[in-house]
Structure 1
Amino acid sequence: MNTAVPTTPTASAPTDAIDLSVARARSTVLEDRIREDPGRFRVLTGDRPTGRLHLGHYFGTLHNRVRLQNLGVEMFVLIADYQVLTDRDVADNLSGIVEELVLDYLAVGIDPERSTILTHSAVPALNQLLLPFLSLVSVAELERNPTVKDEIAHSRQSSVSGLMFTYPVHQAADILFCKANLVPVGRDQLPHLETTRTVARRFNDRYGAGTAVFPQPDALLSSAPLLLGTDGGKMSKSRGNAITLAADADETARLIKGARTDAERRIAYDPATRPEVSSLLLLAALCQGRTPEEVAADIGSAGAAALKRTVTEAVNDYLAPIRARRQEYAQDRAYLRRIVREGNERATAIAERTLAEVRAAMNSLF
């Protein structure tokens, strides 16, 4: 399929808007190609183990991972335990949180027979790629990365470590160790993926001798809706404003009951002027397979209490089978550890082959 994709900026549009429009157009083409031949794609995606996953994660990324897996795309799901340290001094209860993530993965439908679940720290060859990759990127390029600048600005530490500074190159190692050619991202992650593409291109140019050692992975831009936390802010594991996949029905009802709304009695979907109400409507709509406007029309002038009852019922009905599977898997913690161990073994074999190729290309086999 040779669908044309816009690649040239126009003089009248801002650069970030151009980049986003190009990424969206490219993602549309990629979706067609995935449906035609899913086996040609290898995806790397993942999470930092900083807490339990929530509904924002589910509708933002987890649901899409399961979709791609079920289409036949080869999937690598990275639990980025080393990257917990990018914005905190220690990684508290790391092993327990990793197990909770694996529980969430299994509960939503990630299949360890079709998707490789791995942890950063258990794949040494992956992390060893960071050293040669850092030599391909300048300090000025790292300083300009807008996502890194934003993360540093919002860090809870008085000063951040060098790990934060090199985070985009570490992500490049994550993606390229398995030679992933497709990475699902949100718009804020596009600069990181561009760093990965830069690293791949420069390594190939400098050491490839006419051979592409690494692919330049494409961004599959997420169309995931933005769900606000119950306080009206960004839904976050650390802010206590999220409904986790592990929450039971009663806790979910309590959290939704306390969610921020507004004083208007008529319920309407208007994200620009009524963001909190609109986010709740969107959540109910996602769970019911409807539009937010349809949910709002059903509630009408019944007010915020009726809205929250509708959302609570929709969320609890939707999560019921996920929660049931989660409880079942939680009975066998040894199975969770085995999944990670076997995933790490598969990933290590791949990473060692890739590292051997890198060393050969760099004439550093001794």
Structure 2
Amino acid sequence: MESFTATVRRSAEVAATVTEHPERFRVLTGERPTGPLHLGHYFGTIRERVRLQQAGVEMLLVLADYQVITDRDTTAHVRENVHSAVLDYLAAGIDPERTTIFTHSSVPALNQLMLPFLSLVTEAELHRNPTVKAELSASGRALSGLLLTYPVHQAADILFCKGNLVPVGKDNLPHVEMTRVIARRFNERYGEVFPIPDALITSTPEVPGLDGRKMSKSYGNAIALSMTSDETVAVIRQSRTDENRRISFDPVSRPGVSALLSTAALCLGVEPAELADEIGDGGSSALKTMTATAVNDFLAPMRERRRVFSSDVDLVRAILRSGNEAAMTVAEATLDQVREAMGMIY
């Protein structure tokens, strides 16, 4: 495995090449539709996807509905979460003419790659994967077979379309490394089929939730992209701060106050400490008013686009149908190559 320093150096080289030759790259990215997308998703991943799309990089975006059940017993609300996510993507600037949007469950050929890929990794390697450890800790549940093999499913996501570039934060580098290992081992065992994908390390800000922890659907501390302006004001007003009237940026001692400052600062493009100085002795009421205004002003154009898109009742269904068909065509071609390389064409 590459050292972190080597990975960072390689990422910088790749980033330069993306700028000069975006047509050389194919990106697979996406998320689990476990709830509404929020500001953390926008600043963490969606904004970067739009940038790469605009640069001319080929993009595939998976709504990983099968992965919802890695750590939960139900698929309730998955359908509406998928629908809502597509509207959020469109509102943020994702263009379905240039980005293929699809769902796991609609592309059986992608999921079939799990079988040969599982033969290329050991149980110990899966147990060591930080993603598995983190998901297991967060779920508080027994380790399921699907959760244990989660990194292999992610490898199938990336390699089914022969993705060669994966934009990730540094905390998610291990799943890219697992994909590289699987691609390399398959090629060594059966012949060259897959590219060895590179990580594009993104310096995305961690958006704090309204309670100071990381913004997360599971924590219930998020500002959803689909909220109305009134709903946004309400959840910000309900957030906990403290009794100190003087506003200061101190994430350790004042997590609630600092979370609101950070959120407003991201939306305004300034530093949190600068906003704290501006509010001064205005107290939490002034802070919450400023944050709500900053968020609502920032999201207003996206909300208007979302309203227009949602008025077309058939739009999301048509986008997913087209994206699923395109992804299936790609996946079946790759699966045919895999079966041929393995001597399983009958």
TM-score, normalising length from structure 1? 0.90
C-alpha separation in 1, matches of 2:338 and 2:249: 53
Which of these residues, 222, 244, 252, is aligned with residue 232 of structure 2?
Answer: 252
1:165 aligned residue: 148
1:356 aligned residue: 336
Q: CA deviation at 1:128?
A: 0.7
Matches within 5 A, 1:261-272: 261-272=241-252
Aligned partners of 1:267 and 1:304 also within 8 Å: yes
Q: CA deviation at 1:293?
A: 3.0
1:107 partnered with 2:91: yes
Identity %: 59
C-alpha separation in 1, matches of 2:209 and 2:269: 21
C-alpha separation in 1, matches of 2:245 and 2:239: 15
Aligned partners of 2:211 and 2:255 also within 8 Å: no
1:344 aligned residue: 324
Gaps of 5+ in 1: 1-6, 10-18
Which of these residues, 162, 176, 179, is aligned with residue 179 of structure 1?
Answer: 162
2:282 aligned residue: 302
Q: Encode CA deviations 1:192-242: one digit per residue, 9 max, x unaligned.
A: 11110000000111111xxx3111111122211112211222321133211
Aligned partners of 1:269 and 1:296 also within 8 Å: yes
1:327 aligned residue: 307
Gaps of 5+ in 2: none
C-alpha separation in 1, matches of 2:6 and 2:275: 33
> What is the total number of aligned residue pairs between the two structures?
346
C-alpha separation in 1, matches of 2:283 and 2:195: 53
1:230 partnered with 2:210: yes
Aligned partners of 2:208 and 2:263 also within 8 Å: no
Matches within 5 A, 1:1-366: 19=4, 21-157=5-141, 159-208=142-191, 212-366=192-346
C-alpha separation in 2, matches of 1:263 and 1:26: 48
Q: Encode CA deviations 1:224-273: one digit per residue, 9 max, x unaligned.
A: 11122112223211332111011111110111112232343332333344
SS of the residue corresponding to residue 230 of structure 1 reads coil
SS of the residue corresponding to residue 59 of structure 2 reads strand
SS of the residue corresponding to residue 139 of structure 2 reads coil
Q: CA deviation at 1:358?
A: 0.7
One-letter amino acid matched to 1:168: P
C-alpha separation in 1, matches of 2:137 and 2:84: 29
Aligned partners of 1:49 and 1:79 also within 8 Å: yes
SS of the residue corresponding to residue 300 of structure 1 reads helix
Aligned partners of 2:267 and 2:295 also within 8 Å: yes
Q: CA deviation at 1:300?
A: 2.2
C-alpha separation in 2, matches of 1:43 and 1:8: 21
C-alpha separation in 2, matches of 1:145 and 1:213: 25
Aligned partners of 1:228 and 1:276 also within 8 Å: no
Q: CA deviation at 1:120?
A: 0.4
SS of the residue corresponding to residue 154 of structure 1 reads helix
C-alpha separation in 1, matches of 2:295 and 2:39: 9
Q: CA deviation at 1:33?
A: 1.7
Aligned partners of 1:232 and 1:260 also within 8 Å: no
C-alpha separation in 2, matches of 1:188 and 1:155: 18
Q: Encode CA deviations 1:256-309: one digit per residue, 9 max, x unaligned.
A: 112232343332333344333233222212211222233223222322221111
SS of the residue corresponding to residue 233 of structure 1 reads coil
Deviates more, 1:66-75 or 1:259-268: 259-268
TM-score, normalising length from structure 2? 0.95
Q: CA deviation at 1:40?
A: 1.1
Aligned partners of 1:266 and 1:301 also within 8 Å: yes
C-alpha separation in 2, matches of 1:277 and 1:136: 48
One-letter amino acid matched to 1:312: A
C-alpha separation in 2, matches of 1:197 and 1:291: 37
C-alpha separation in 2, matches of 1:248 and 1:231: 20
After superposition, the Cα gap between the structure-2 partners of 1:8 and 1:130, relative to the gap in structure 1 and judged at 3 Å, is closer
Q: CA deviation at 1:156?
A: 4.5
Aligned partners of 2:64 and 2:103 also within 8 Å: yes
